[in-house]
């Protein structure tokens, strides 16, 4: 247990009403006693835990700020150690002076994520819960926030622990039977083990399959606006944003490179990429833009394919339709205010879906577009409901390795291998799942994880 006393600013360094300086460690109360002054000369070490006290932070005879101090005795604190939070006035100067005073009188500067790291090392939370803390801080939408809170509450951890418990039972049974064959029989055990492993592997596969949805919840929907030049792609982006972010002119090919923006619709994030118009060109720069547009489309979760409905489809449109035929997409017949002449039957035949009649100028079809996005990502194939989602790439990797080990167990059973072969792969699956919650995890991995945290957390 790390016990030295650390301090850091836990709020943003900006103009604000309140700033918080956090102190934690064995000597946290001693540090605050040296710098906290009250009108009745209250001694914090004698105060009840989880109480708040009014006074001033002072460095010797100099008053630094008027503050409220919250004291939390360990283990009933975030770090499971004695912890003090100083609520001072906001602003860069005041908060820094309060921190400097705490450091001068016995604390040391906290490293990035060190408060959460101590919570993990002291058994207050496991590693999956710790990682969910930073995901909560970085959450970009309500779905990500809710998912992170559920992981902080331990829902992913409980599933992992239960799976490990079942695997460990099988390992223990095999090892016991091999050590004491007279009293513990392995007759018919392979068949029973097969059923249990199939069930465990099915649950792990389900978690792995949730990772794509989990990535979308965490990072947002990679949305690419695609179409030929002057179809109205940038106008659509501006409409979605509610501001004139992209340059719009009547000159085809105004957008030469990708332009990225984040849009929030009903609590989900769309990371929207406006791309260069797709067309044959001798212009080298425009060719590069077209290549980048197709590359963005290949990596997209959703494509908004914009067609100039006042014109017939050309070879560029047909190339786009062929390129995106297997992608999740919404087809938008823009410029409907000019009259729709585009061959809608051809689009339906080639894509298998109807297009939305739309006008970025008059906003015709705008509600229908938003409804379609909701249908795809809220009510449809990616319904953000009460299921558990894997949002952490490290967790997905560990689950995949555990899944591979369990498949190897099944292969060994089918091949009639000796039981000790089962035990080896079961142990590996057990260990890989343990990496998720921090069992037997290496120090360098722990340090790498917490280095991504902000300084006061």
pLDDT of residue 293: 83
pLDDT of residue 278: 82
Contact by Cβ (8 Å): 139, 36 = no
Pairing between strand 268-274 and 221-226?
Answer: parallel
pLDDT of residue 251: 40
Domain limits, CATH 3.30.1360.120, in the chain = 6-125
Burial state string for 404-414 with b = 16 or more CB within 10 A and e = fewer than 16:
ebbebbbebbe
CATH number among 3.30.70.1280, 3.40.50.300, 3.30.450.40, 3.40.50.10490, domain 220-379: 3.40.50.300
Cα 216 from chain centroid (whole Å): 8
Domain limits, CATH 3.40.50.300, in the chain = 220-379
**Under CATH, which architecture does the 6-125 domain have?**
2-Layer Sandwich (3.30)
**Spans in the chain with pLDDT lower than 70:** 1, 243-258, 267, 281-283, 286, 378-387, 441-442
pTM of the entire structure? 0.74
pLDDT of residue 364: 92
Nearest CA to 390 out of 117, 242, 173, 203 is that of: 203
pLDDT of residue 255: 45
Q: Which fold has domain 132-210+391-437?
A: 1.20.120
pLDDT of residue 384: 52
Sequence-ordered alpha helix ranges (H) in 243-365: 284-298, 315-323, 344-351
DSSP state of 110: P
Bridge partner residues of 8 (DSSP): 22
The structure tokens 């008027």 sit at 66
Contact by Cβ (8 Å): 85, 50 = no
Neighbours of 216 (CB within 10 A): 24
Pairing between strand 62-72 and 83-89?
Answer: antiparallel
């Amino acid at each position: 247990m790390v016990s030295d006393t650390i301090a850091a600013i836990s709020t943003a360094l900006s103009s604000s009403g309140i700033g918080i300086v956090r102190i934690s460690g064995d000597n946290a109360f001693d540090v605050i006693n040296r710098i906290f002054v009250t009108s009745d000369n209250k001694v914090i070490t004698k105060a009840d835990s989880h109480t708040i006290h009014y006074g001033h932070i002072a460095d010797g005879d100099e008053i630094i700020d008027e503050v409220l101090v919250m004291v939390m005795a360990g283990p009933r604190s975030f770090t499971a150690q004695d912890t003090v939070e100083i609520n001072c006035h906001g602003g860069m100067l005041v908060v820094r002076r309060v921190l400097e005073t705490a450091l001068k009188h016995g604390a040391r500067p906290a490293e990035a994520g060190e408060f959460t790291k101590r919570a993990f090392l002291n058994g207050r939370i496991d590693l999956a819960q710790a990682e969910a803390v930073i995901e909560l801080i970085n959450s970009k939408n309500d779905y990500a926030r809710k998912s992170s809170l559920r992981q902080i509450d331990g829902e992913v951890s409980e599933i992992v622990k239960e799976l490990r418990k079942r695997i460990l039972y099988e390992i223990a049974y095999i090892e016991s039977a091999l050590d004491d064959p007279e009293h513990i029989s392995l007759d018919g055990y392979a068949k029973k083990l097969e059923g249990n492993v199939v069930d465990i592997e099915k649950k792990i596969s389900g978690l792995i399959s949730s990772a794509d949805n989990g990535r979308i919840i965490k990072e947002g929907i990679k949305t690419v606006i695609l179409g030929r030049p002057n179809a109205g792609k940038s106008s659509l982006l501006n409409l979605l944003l509610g501001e004139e972010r992209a340059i719009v002119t009547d000159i085809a090919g105004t957008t030469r490179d990708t332009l990225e923006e984040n849009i929030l619709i009903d609590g989900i994030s769309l990371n929207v990429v406006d791309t260069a118009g797709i067309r044959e060109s001798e212009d080298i720069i425009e060719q590069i833009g077209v290549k980048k547009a197709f590359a963005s489309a290949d990596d997209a979760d959703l494509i908004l394919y914009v067609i100039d409905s006042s014109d017939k489809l050309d070879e560029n449109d047909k190339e786009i339709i062929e390129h995106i035929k297997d992608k999740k997409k919404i087809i938008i017949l823009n410029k409907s205010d000019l009259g729709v002449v585009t061959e809608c039957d051809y689009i339906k035949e080639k894509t298998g879906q109807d297009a939305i009649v739309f006008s970025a100028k008059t906003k015709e079809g705008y509600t229908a577009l938003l409804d379609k996005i909701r249908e795809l990502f809220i009510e449809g194939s990616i319904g953000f409901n009460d299921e558990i989602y894997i949002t952490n790439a490290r967790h997905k990797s560990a689950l995949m390795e555990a899944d591979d080990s369990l498949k190897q167990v099944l292969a060994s059973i089918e091949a009639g291998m000796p039981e000790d072969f089962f035990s080896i792969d079961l142990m590996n699956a057990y260990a890989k799942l343990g990496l998720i919650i921090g069992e037997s995890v290496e120090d360098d991995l722990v340090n790498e994880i917490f280095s991504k945290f902000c300084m006061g957390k």
